[in-house]
Amino acid sequence: MQDLKELVYILKQHNLTIVNSNGLPLEKNTMLWKLYSGLKKGKINSDEEAEQLLYKEAHGGSKYRQLKFTLRERMMSAIINFEAKGNRFTDYQKAYYESHREWLIVKILTGQNANTAAISLAVKLLKQAQKFEFTMLTVDIASYLAYQYGLRENNDRKFKQANALYTESRQLLDAEALAEQLYTELMVKVVNSKTSAEEVALLARDAFVQIDPFLAKYTSYRLHLFGNMIGLMRFTSINQYQDILPICNKAIAFFESKPYEARVPLQMFYYQKLICYIHMKSFSEGEQVAQYCLGLLEEGTFNWFKYMELYVRLAFHSGEMEKGVHLLSESLKHPRFQFLPDNTKELWRIYASYGYYLGITGCVKQVVDPTFKLGKFINETPIFSKDKSGMNVAIIVIKNLILLAEKKSIRLLDGIEAIEQYCYRYLNNADTARSAAFLKMLLLLPSGNLDRESIEKRVEKYQKVLEQYPVQMSDQTLEIEIIPYDRLWKIALDSIFRTS
């Protein structure tokens, strides 16, 4: 069902029409039209809802499966006719869609023995592929032309030109493939394993040594994208932010010099700059980067959500709480939110819980979700609840803050021993020192017989830990501290002693 919903969204977004087997628009009130219309209007969100609407029963069986298959095929056919038009697409994006559609036409013409027309289109297409650095497409076209000129037309001069281009492009393609492979392997270690930050940095250095000679030799879009990302990982993995900015600036200058707008690389390197500015507390520079990035992103894409995630963090870390909650609400309400991977949606739910807390403590006028229930939130974050020294810390922190704000401190008192054990087992190194200190600070708040001055005196030793390990020096704190602990502590104190 999810794939159908995504296809419907694309058709709706680009105003594409699906047709029946005769090439005519779908007739109203047919089963196919009812299924498509229900999905388009949001009336159908699951197979069970679709079967109930169409067949008045819970299981439509083989009839329903065939209907889904037919609708999927019709929508795929409509998407093949998609054309990137208008200002929302860059020249690069338009060229990408157009070039691959024309390459399909070349293959169809060749299959129909219309070789003269096919070669003519292939020659035209080759120029565009080279201009926009579509290396894999260039390799395919050069190989095709070498075959045509060598065996069909017996044109030795053109054969040698095409064959030389094939050899050169194939070497570049190999370099691009190596860069992408090395980058992917590094990211797998970062995301899916317990590889230490120092080991990732070392592996990135080794990978960059392999790629650097190719960066000096070629000016390829794809090669410099992955090559520079590897270069960044030498420093991002160990939080050397001053070394990250020069690489970002160099990569941005490279891609801005292209004869076309290279949005994706620019998004990626500006994104890294934004992370740097948050860590370095250079908030005015971060705001400028954030505003600039708005013009590079297509709303509702995965990258748009990743950028919005970082923009929310920038707002919260800079004290712009109203702006952070506004950006948070805008993201959660977006129709493409439902298509995000489960772990990404979970992360947004954690951000939403912090937005809710800001609302109930009076820090912002807008409450992100007035229907928010703490128990429901905990049940909807099963993935990160297992990340004991990672995002589960953010869940525990907000859970206890909400309990305090809602005057349910008895429940917090009941969990004191569990939190102390948690700190002992999972938050026992420098990377997690801030989280351990902050949780211990929260445990002092339920003591109703203490005034604010007494509490502030008792937490001094923990506040020294926060000072000793500032956010930008920790491996995990930027991700875990959706709102910096220092700021959360002040909000918690103000809330408790204002309402007590």
Query: According to the model, what pLDDT value does residue 460 have?
Result: 92
Above pLDDT 90, what percent of the chain? 41
Task: Report the alpha-carbon angle 258-298-71, nearest 5.
Answer: 120
Question: What pLDDT digit, counting tens, does each position of 279-293 carry?
Answer: 877 778 888 898 888
Average pLDDT on 201-224 reads: 96
CA angle 364, 370, 372 (to 5 degrees): 110
Residue length of the chain = 500
434 with 466: CB under 8 angstroms? yes
Least reliable range by pLDDT among 106-120, 193-207, 439-453, 454-468: 439-453
Cα gap 433→440, rounded to integer Å: 11
3-state secondary structure of 245: helix
- pTM, rounded to two decimals: 0.71
3-state secondary structure 171-234: HHHHHHHHHHHHHHHHHHHHHHCCCCHHHHHHHHHHHHHHHHHHHHHCCCHHHHHHHHHHHHHH
95 within a domain of the structure (yes/no) = no
In a domain, 489, yes or no: yes
How far apart are alpha carbons 51 and 66 in whole angstroms?
Answer: 12
Better-scored residue on pLDDT, 245 or 33: 245
Averaged pLDDT, 61-80: 84
Asked if residue 426 belongs to a domain, the reply is yes
Within a domain: 394: yes
**Does the residue 427 lie in any domain?**
yes
Domain presence at residue 414:
yes
356 vs 384, more confident: 356
Over residues 252-267, the mean pLDDT reads: 91
- Asked whether residue 359 is assigned to any structural domain, the reply reads no
Q: Which of 49, 65, 80 is the last residue of a domain?
A: 80
Token output for 329: 């609400």
Q: How many domains, the chain?
A: 2
Work out the pLDDT band at 254, boundaries 50, 70, 90: very high
Residue 59 has pLDDT above 70, yes or no: no
The stretch 320-347 carries a mean pLDDT of 91
Instruction: Tell me the range of 61-65, 66-70, 128-132, 463-467 where mean pLDDT is highest.
Output: 128-132
Assess if residue 44 is contained within a domain. Answer: yes
Residues contacting residue 140 through CB under 8 Å, at least 6 positions apart:
103
What 3-state class would DSSP assign to 344? helix
Q: Do 383 and 394 touch, CB atoms closer than 8 A?
A: no
Question: Which tokens go with 222?
Answer: 């794809």
* End-to-end Cα, the chain, rounded Å: 50
Q: Is the dihedral of CA 255, 259, 261, 264 positive or negative?
A: negative
* pLDDT for residue 248 is more than 70: yes
CB-based contact 365:322 (threshold 8 Å) = yes
Q: Is the pLDDT of residue 499 over 60?
A: no
- Are the CB atoms for 273 and 235 separated by under 8 Å? no
At 414, the pLDDT band (50, 70, 90 cuts) reads low
Q: Please give the mean pLDDT across all residues of the chain.
A: 86
**Domain enclosing residue 391, as ranges:** 387-500
Cα–Cα distances in angstroms (integers) from residue 425 to residues 242, 412, 414, in the given order: 33, 19, 19
Confidence of residue 149 (pLDDT cuts 50, 70, 90): very high
